[in-house]
């Protein structure tokens, strides 16, 4: 539907009253987004208003849990605003539902999120794309990096630094072209965007260009991040997630707590112009094509990625293991024995989950010199490489403990990236949990991990990361950092065994640096 027709269908400001014999729900577009007036002759403390994607119906079993956000509507009549910090511009459907279930009280009601209405702005001021190669067709999307609004913007090329002036920018924000010989190195492009209100802005885009006879990807940057229920507890979390992930310059990203399939994974992939794969509350984003989704248990998502066609491939897992019961609580607050904690690790589901993932990845390791493997994610448990005699004072007086979530990946032949580079846990604890809680409530620990396998890759750098100085819960709403975990970032060198196209034997700057 064209934007003007959509607006016409949704005005006047008070939209069409949708009601059953006993209940009603009304959307007022003159108020903040997703504000509703409701009434019912059957009030209940857990009646609720939910926002769904356009056309979704909670009466359909496969759609009922796919709501974007919700709030209680407990009174006989009242007004509620459904907070949906990550809702992208577009049409949605609202329902008034009974008693925390999916019985309809009123709806569906159409609701329109127009998004930003002020001057047009990009979320970031500069952005780096995937690598291009001389004499190879290139394409990248940057339209998703604009702070969302309706109607759509128009884009244009402002400048191109390349010797051959090879870059084109479509009105839809797609950068395309074919670098010529001599364009190797870096092409810097300025992309302009214009909104319907006449406002304009620009984005600086860096395109690394490899030589025609060089590997397309020489160094691989990987990031893993738990989004904290998709970012629901931090204001403008979508913008903050995009800003951070763009700043990492990551080629592949493992995400956890994406809420549900197609939610944060698709949203962030669209913003960054990445390929993506969703599974449960996990997602994998990649600058380079995801060519195969691999079988994995419910705690993991796994894909095959082609960095340079079949000349250079990797296999990438991201996992979100069971969270309850939590082992450090058992040791630090429950004073449990090692045997008791081991039993409860199995009870949490983490032990069978990681055993299954590790066994599957062990089968891939014989070919990992050619196709390196990676395991990232939130394991909801520490590592035996961190809980040692030398660090017992940091772990409630407990010395060495063989956490199953580290035991099985290591036994399978995987290597802990951070510990490979920082072997002393007393000097480099690598804590990721939690920047939003005091140590008295949440024992600080490393529970987010990156493992790798195969001689086709060598780690160069690895670190936990955070932006700003977050306030503790419950004062986190305006934090610059959009989650309750630190992220983890690692950089790897791809070695010749993992690349059929060999590096050029001359001294020159690579297309991508550390």
Q: Is the domain of 275 the same as that of 186?
A: no
Q: Is the domain of 55 the same as that of 104?
A: yes
Q: Exposed/middle/buried for 504, CB within 10 Å: 0-12, 13-18, 19+?
A: middle
Q: How far apart are CA 303 and CA 132, in angstroms?
A: 23
Q: HEC string of 497-509? A: HHCCCCCCCCCCC
Q: What is the pLDDT of residues 104-163, one digit of tens each?
A: 999 999 999 988 889 999 999 999 999 999 999 999 999 999 999 888 899 999 999 999
Instruction: Report the 10 Å Cβ neighbour count for 253.
Output: 28
pTM: 0.89
Q: How far apart are CA 314 and CA 312, in angstroms?
A: 7
Q: What pLDDT score does 68 carry?
A: 86
Of 82, 113, 144, which residue sits at a domain end? Answer: 113
Domain presence at residue 199: yes
Residue with tokens 């067709």: 137
Q: Is the pLDDT of residue 505 over 70?
A: no
Domain presence at residue 379: yes
Instruction: Report the 10 Å Cβ neighbour count for 478.
Output: 10
- If pLDDT is split at 50, 70 and 90, which confidence band does 84 have? confident
Q: Is the domain of 404 the same as that of 375?
A: yes
Q: Is the domain of 363 the same as that of 480?
A: yes
Beta strands in 260-372 (DSSP E): 275-279, 282-286, 290-294, 300-306, 313-320
Q: Is the domain of 182 the same as that of 275?
A: no
**Plot region of 274 (φ>0 → left; ψ -120 to 50 → alpha; else → beta):** beta
Q: How far apart are CA 215 and CA 118, in angstroms?
A: 44
Domain presence at residue 18: no
Q: What is the pLDDT of residues 442-500, one digit of tens each?
A: 999 999 999 999 999 999 999 999 999 999 999 999 999 999 999 999 999 999 999 87
Q: How far apart are CA 51 and CA 34, in angstroms?
A: 8
Q: What is the pLDDT of residues 253-309, one digit of tens each?
A: 999 999 876 689 999 999 999 999 999 999 999 999 999 999 999 999 999 999 999
- If pLDDT is split at 50, 70 and 90, which confidence band does 433 have? very high
- Give how far Cα 497 sits from Cα of 23, 216, 309, 457, 480, Å: 66, 15, 15, 9, 41
Q: What is the CATH number of the domain that holds 357?
A: 3.60.10.10
User: What average pLDDT does this structure show over 201-222?
Assistant: 97
- Residue 294 token pair: 């691999």
- Residue 350 token pair: 């983490």
Q: Is the domain of 249 the same as that of 398?
A: yes
Q: What is the CATH number of the domain that holds 70?
A: 2.60.40
Domain presence at residue 273: yes
Q: How far apart are CA 106 and CA 50, in angstroms?
A: 11
Q: Is the domain of 302 the same as that of 420?
A: yes
Domain presence at residue 514: no
Q: Is the domain of 192 the same as that of 233?
A: no
Q: Is the domain of 353 the same as that of 439?
A: yes
Domain presence at residue 351: yes
Q: What pLDDT score does 198 carry?
A: 94
Q: Is the domain of 358 the same as that of 444?
A: yes
Q: Is the domain of 100 the same as that of 245?
A: no
Task: Give Rg (Cα) of the chain.
Answer: 25
Residue with tokens 């419950």: 474
Q: How far apart are CA 122 and CA 172, in angstroms?
A: 15
Domain presence at residue 462: yes
* Number of domains composing the chain: 3
Q: Is the pLDDT of residue 510 over 70?
A: no
Containing structural domain, residue 46: 24-113
Domain presence at residue 7: no
User: DSSP assignment, residue 165?
Assistant: -
- Could you tell me what percent of the chain has a pLDDT over 90? 85
Please provide the DSSP assignment of 434-497 as one string: -TTS-TTTS--B--EEEEEESTTEEEEEEEEE--S-PPPTTS-TT-SS-SSS-EEEEEEEEPGG
Q: Is the pLDDT of residue 506 over 90?
A: no
- Give how far Cα 181 sits from Cα of 120, 216, 236, Å: 36, 15, 43
Q: Is the domain of 173 the same as that of 30?
A: no
């Amino acid at each position: 539907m064209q934007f003007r027709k959509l607006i016409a269908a949704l005005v006047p400001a008070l939209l069409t009253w949708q009601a059953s014999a006993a209940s009603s729900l009304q959307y007022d577009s003159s108020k903040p987004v997703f504000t509703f007036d409701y009434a019912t002759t059957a009030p209940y403390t857990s009646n609720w208003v939910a926002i769904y994607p356009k056309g979704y119906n909670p009466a359909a079993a496969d759609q009922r849990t796919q709501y974007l956000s919700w709030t209680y509507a407990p009174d006989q009549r009242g007004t509620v605003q459904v907070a949906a910090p990550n809702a992208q511009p577009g049409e949605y459907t609202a329902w008034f539902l009974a008693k925390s279930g999916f019985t309809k009280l009123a709806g569906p009601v159409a609701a329109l999120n127009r998004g930003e209405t002020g001057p047009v702005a990009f979320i970031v001021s500069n952005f780096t794309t995937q690598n291009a190669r001389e004499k190879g067709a290139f394409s990248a999307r940057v339209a998703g990096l604009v702070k969302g609004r309706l109607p759509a913007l128009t884009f244009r090329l402002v400048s191109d630094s390349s010797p051959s002036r090879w870059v084109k920018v479509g009105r839809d924000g797609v950068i395309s072209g074919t670098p010529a010989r001599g364009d190797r190195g870096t092409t810097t492009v300025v992309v302009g965007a214009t909104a319907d209100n006449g406002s304009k802005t620009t984005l600086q885009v860096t395109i690394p260009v490899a030589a025609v006879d060089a590997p397309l990807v020489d160094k691989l940057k990987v990031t893993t991040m738990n989004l904290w229920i998709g970012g629901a507890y931090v204001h403008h979390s979508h913008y903050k997630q995009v800003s951070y992930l763009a700043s990492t310059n990551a080629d592949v990203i493992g995400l956890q707590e994406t809420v549900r399939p197609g939610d944060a994974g698709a949203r962030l992939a669209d913003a960054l112009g990445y390929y993506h794969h969703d599974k449960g509350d996990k997602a994998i984003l990649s600058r380079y094509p995801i060519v195969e989704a691999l079988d994995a248990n419910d705690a993991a998502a796994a894909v095959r990625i082609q960095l340079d066609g079949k000349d250079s491939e990797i296999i990438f897992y991201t996992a979100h293991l069971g969270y309850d019961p939590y082992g450090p609580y058992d040791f630090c607050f429950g004073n449990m024995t090692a045997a008791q904690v081991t039993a409860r690790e199995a009870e949490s589901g983490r032990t069978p989950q990681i055993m299954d993932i590790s066994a599957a990845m062990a089968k891939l390791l014989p070919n990992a010199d050619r196709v390196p493997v990676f395991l990232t994610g939130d394991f909801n448990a520490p590592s035996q490489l961190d809980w040692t005699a030398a660090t017992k004072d940091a772990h409630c007086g407990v010395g060495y403990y063989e956490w199953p979530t580290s035991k099985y990946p290591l036994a399978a032949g995987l290597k802990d990236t951070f510990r490979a580079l920082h072997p002393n846990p007393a000097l480099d604890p690598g804590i990721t949990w939690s920047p939003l809680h005091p140590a008295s409530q949440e024992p600080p620990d490393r529970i987010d991990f990156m493992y790798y396998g195969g001689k086709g890759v060598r780690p160069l750098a690895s670190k936990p990361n955070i932006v700003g100085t977050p306030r503790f819960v419950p004062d986190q709403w305006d934090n610059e950092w959009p989650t309750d975990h630190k992220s983890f970032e690692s950089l790897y060198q791809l070695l010749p065994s993992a690349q059929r196209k060999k590096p050029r034997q001359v001294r020159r700057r690579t297309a991508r640096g550390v």
